[in-house]
Amino acid sequence: MKHIYNEKKKGAPVFVLLHGTGGTENDLVGLGELLNPEFNILSVRGNVQENGMNRFFKRHGEGKYDWEDLKFRGTELYEFIVEKSKEHDFKLEDVIFVGFSNGSNIAIQLMLEYPESFKRAALFAPLYPADIEKTQDFSHMDVFLSLGKGDPIVPESESERVINLFRDRGADVTTAWVNGHNLTQDVALEARNWLNETINNDA
| Chain centre to alpha carbon of residue 176 | 15
End-to-end CA distance of the chain: 33
Q: Which structural domain, as residue segments, surrounds residue 45?
A: 3-202
For residue 161, the model assigns a pLDDT of 97
Which one of 85, 142, 146, 151 is the catalytic residue?
151
pLDDT of residue 17: 98
Low-confidence ranges of the chain (pLDDT < 50): none
How many C-beta atoms surround the C-beta of residue 89 within 10 A? 10
Tell me if residue 101 is catalytic: yes
Query: How many domains does one find in the chain?
Result: 1
Distances (CA, A) of 93 to 23, 117, 119, 191: 26, 6, 6, 19
The pLDDT tens digits of the residues spanning 6-39 come to 999 999 999 999 999 999 999 999 999 999 999 9
Active site annotation includes 157? no
CB atoms within 10 A of CB 38: 9
Of residues 43, 85, 159, 181, which has the active-site annotation? Answer: 181
Buried b (16+ CB within 10 A) or exposed e, 178-202: beebebeeebbebbbebbeebeeee
Q: What is the DSSP string of 144-191?
A: EEEEEET-SSS-HHHHHHHHHHHHTTT-EEEEEEEESS---HHHHHHH
Decide if 139 contacts 147 (C-beta within 8 A). no
Residues in the chain, total: 203
The active-site residue, picked from 101, 104, 146, 159, is: 101
What is the model's pLDDT at position 32?
98
Q: What are the tens digits of pLDDT across the range 44-54?
A: 999 999 999 99
pLDDT at 62: 82
Round to whole Å and give the CA distance between 148 and 33: 23
Q: Mark whether 117 is an active-site residue.
A: no
Neighbours of 177 (CB within 10 A): 13
Beta strand pairing call for 3-6 and 40-44: antiparallel
Q: What is the CATH number of the domain that holds 89?
A: 3.40.50.1820
The reported pLDDT for the residue numbered 203 is: 67
